Amino acid sequence: MSLKLFDLTGKIAIVTGASKGLGKAMSLGMADAGADIVLVSRTLKDLEVVAEEIRAKGRKALPVPADVSKNADIERMVKEAMGKFGKIDILVNNTGISGDKPVLKMEEEYWDYVMSVNLKAPFLCSKAVGAEMVKRKKGKIINISSITFYMAIPNMTSYCASKAGVVQFTKALALEWARYNIQVNAICPGYFRTPMNEKFFSTDAGKKIIEQTLPFKRLGEPEELVGSVVFLASDASNFITGAVLVVDGGQILGK
């Protein structure tokens, strides 16, 4: 087997939620593999920091500030990406928020907001980017879900429901777009260290969760997701679609 199968040289990847955490790590990892990256999040200042790191690797980076729950922003994102690069090979739908309210205290608007970011955004981005991929009959879409597609957590019903929806959306879209040679797969991370959760996992309650529920007794590091996304973005996965790749250090094995 040639390692060229994993080479992303000449590929153009869009990564949403790219300014921090897992999105940043995946963007830098695909740049290391040769891809040029369109970086998307709501804050341009944070995107510029990641863009400079990618350029320092000798790759091109296009920061695009956008709210991916809004169709107008997504259409502008695709227009800017196509204007600079002329094609889009890879889409990583990574943007997500935590939904941590119990049902009896959850407003309808809160439920709708979680769904709009975690489930509606992958649909809108896939539709807009997929239209360009269909024209070329080639593309990779990678949806970032969560182990909560399988493992339920109390007081996080909106999050669990949205991430389970991402998995079923992935499978159905994989069947729908196989005719266009577009592979659609999902990565389901477990507990990774990110700016969003680092404070909690440094508390006694967080440390207890790590000790009692994680077989490796530690959080995953964002860089440990890079191999999975490069694999699914590369030619090495050309005959894989509708797959759900769990990257959780064995956390759900005991569930």
**102: number of Cβ within 10 Å:** 10
* Structure tokens belonging to residue 52: 């400079």
Position of tokens 């679609």?
241
Which of helix, strand or coil describes residue 107?
Answer: coil
- Please check whether residue 165 is in contact with residue 117, taking contact to mean a CB–CB distance below 8 angstroms: no
156 with 100: CB under 8 angstroms?
yes
CA 234, CA 14: separation in Å to the nearest integer? 14
| Distinct helix (H) and strand (E) counts, the chain | 9, 7
DSSP E strands: which ranges in the chain? 12-16, 36-41, 61-65, 90-93, 139-144, 182-189, 244-247
**CA 120/CA 161 separation, integer angstroms:** 12
What pLDDT is attached to residue 3? 79
User: Which residues, 6 or more positions from 143, have their beta carbon under 8 angstroms from its beta carbon?
Assistant: 93, 122, 126, 166, 167, 169, 170, 184, 185, 186, 187
Q: What is the reported pLDDT for 132?
A: 98
Tokens of 175: 């069947």
Q: Is the pTM value of this prediction over 0.85?
A: yes
CA–CA distance, 200 with 240 (Å, rounded to integer): 36
Separation CA 242–CA 175 (nearest Å): 7
> How far apart are the C-alpha atoms of 249 and 255, rounded to whole Å?
13
- pLDDT, one tens digit for every residue, the chain (255 residues): 567 999 999 999 999 999 999 999 999 999 999 999 999 999 999 999 999 999 999 999 999 999 999 999 999 999 999 999 999 999 999 999 988 899 999 999 999 999 999 999 999 999 999 999 999 999 999 999 999 999 999 999 999 999 999 999 999 999 999 999 999 999 999 999 988 788 889 999 999 999 999 999 999 999 999 999 999 999 999 999 999 999 999 999 976
33, 40 in Cβ contact below 8 A?
no
pLDDT, position 254:
76
* CA–CA gap between residue 187 and residue 15 (Å, rounded): 14
CA–CA distance, 89 with 224 (Å, rounded to integer): 23
CATH architecture of 3-248: 3-Layer(aba) Sandwich (3.40)
Q: What residues are labeled active site?
A: 159
* Domain parsing of the chain, residue ranges: 3-248
pLDDT at position 99 = 82
Q: Are 70 and 96 in contact (CB under 8 A)?
A: no
